[in-house]
Structure 1
Amino acid sequence: MGQGEVSARGSAMEGDCLSCMKYLMFIFNFFIFLGGSFLLSVGVWVLVDPMGFREIVAANPVLFTGVYVILAMGSMLFLLGFLGCCGAIRENKCLLLFFFMLILFIFLAELAAAILAFLFREHLTREYFSRELKRHYQGHNNTDVFTSTWNAIMTTFNCCGVSGPEDFEESLFRLLSPSKMVPEACCQRNSSPGDVSVEQCVSGSMVFRHNKGCYSAMVDYFEMYIYTAGALAIVVLTIELFAMVFAMCLFRGIQ
């Protein structure tokens, strides 16, 4: 076998490997594109205010900021997938290099966000929300953002307080309304202002009020979505790592 034939076979194998890498790169970036589209959809879904969700996340600035973080990350992943697909199909080294740098930046940003979420996890505890509710909730006051937000939460999820109606003991609400044990937002929906059931509810009757805390109600409601989001985050990070490896290999293989 001559040296020229060996060289030709080597070049053919290298070309096949490069072609395989190109299509693998395209597939991975297509999934990144889909992931970005999903995050964008979630962010837009929250901002259009379904079921009072915007008021719910507005109760905590950390959560409300997270909506815009989701939008930003979704937009960047959307752009990444597009750049990666174009760079792979066209074998454009500039697009591939720009893609690699951008996905590296996103990966580091996601890592930093995970660290910050771990450091500030105390802001999402039951005790934190209970303390804030006792300090700032006023009852029936539509001009106060914090109060109207909690009214929306309790009405939407059919709950009362953070852990339960006992959260309103020794609170600002009781100081402002000493004759009421719980606010009207804790009363069952079939009750209307002026009904005897509402009067009994705010006076402390357990029959006409919701006795489940909002923290448990919201965790139960969003439990499936939380696990789904966690699994999706792991999948996205894995895809990003593979995409960076493929991008660099394809970049080096393009003549």
Structure 2
Amino acid sequence: MGAYDEKKETCGTICLKYLLFTFNFLFWLAGGAVMAVGIWTVAEKSDYISLLSSRIYAVSAYILIVAGIVVMITGILGCCATFKEQKGLLRLYFVLLLFIFLLEVLAGVLAYVYYQQLNTELKENLKETMTQKYQQAGQDHITQAVDKLQQEFKCCGSNSSSDWSESQWILTQKANGRVVPDSCCKTPTENCGRRDHPSNIYKVEGGCITKLENFILDHLKIIGAVGVGIACVQIIGMIFTCCLYRSLKAEPY
């Protein structure tokens, strides 16, 4: 009877080991995906981040990058801990899983909080950023971001093209007679911004603010879903780890 119980326990432990190994492999792949989402958000969309007064959007992305790196390292550690059957490694692995879990939940919560306040922030700050900082000394990153925003989203001004009448740059001789930046033009050419007729420039209802808001909201959904989704999957890993830990006999560290 005792031999049967020992064999049964051994089989259960083996099953747990392979389940946890499979989980860690998938977890490692998920870590790469999480990190990729974070890097893509920061690297490819960094121009738009500069147009936001709040840093929550960027912080959420950086948290995902850190979490993704730790996830990949943890996945490798988990494989080692599983097959070496060392309780010390399993404890460390569990702590790292818990740490990543909290990081990703934090990223998800930040994304949700910013999701709620994004519209207010854009209404209060985007127009001022565009009109007061465009083509100003030391604000090259803002100028590039505004030009990219207007060209990619085919829009002009924060709320409408008339916003540019309040621009510090438009009101100076440096604008060379332009009434809107050349990036407002459907076919950008030098000084094309002198004519603001709908046949020449983008006259989008709601201006760029609506376009940018929808864009960021879509990405916040991705950040939030990835963060919370992976965090939920980690709960399974923590359960497997606890089960394997309890199934192991006391061993030296």
Same fold, TM exceeding 0.5?
yes
Cα offset, 1:111, TM superposition: 2.8
> Is the 1:59–1:149 contact (alpha carbons within 8 Å) kept by the matching residues of 2?
yes
Matched, 1:99 2:96: no
> Is the 1:34–1:78 contact (alpha carbons within 8 Å) kept by the matching residues of 2?
yes
> Is the 1:160–1:214 contact (alpha carbons within 8 Å) kept by the matching residues of 2?
yes
Cα offset, 1:23, TM superposition: 1.0
Deviations 1:122-159 (A, max 9, x none): 5522x422321222324334731333322222233332
Matched, 1:249 2:243: yes
Counterparts of 1:43-192 in structure 2 under 5 Å? 43-46=38-41, 49-50=43-44, 53-60=45-52, 61-125=55-119, 127-137=120-130, 138-141=133-136, 143-144=138-139, 145-168=141-164, 181-188=179-186, 190-192=187-189
RMSD: 3.1
> Is the 2:134–2:143 contact (alpha carbons within 8 Å) kept by the matching residues of 1?
yes
Distance 1:118 1:220 in 2: 14
> Is the 2:20–2:241 contact (alpha carbons within 8 Å) kept by the matching residues of 1?
yes
Identity %: 26
> Is the 2:97–2:238 contact (alpha carbons within 8 Å) kept by the matching residues of 1?
yes
Q: Which amino acid aligns with 1:207?
A: S
Cα offset, 1:251, TM superposition: 1.1
> Is the 1:32–1:77 contact (alpha carbons within 8 Å) kept by the matching residues of 2?
yes
Q: Which amino acid aligns with 2:184?
A: C
Distance 1:166 1:149, change over 3 A: same
| Gap runs ≥5 in structure 2 | none
> Is the 1:158–1:210 contact (alpha carbons within 8 Å) kept by the matching residues of 2?
yes
Distance 2:116 2:168 in 1: 23
* Residue correspondences, number: 240
Cα offset, 1:103, TM superposition: 1.2
- 2:193 alignment partner in structure 1: 198
Look up the SS of the partner of 2:157 in the other structure: coil
Distance 1:242 1:55, change over 3 A: same
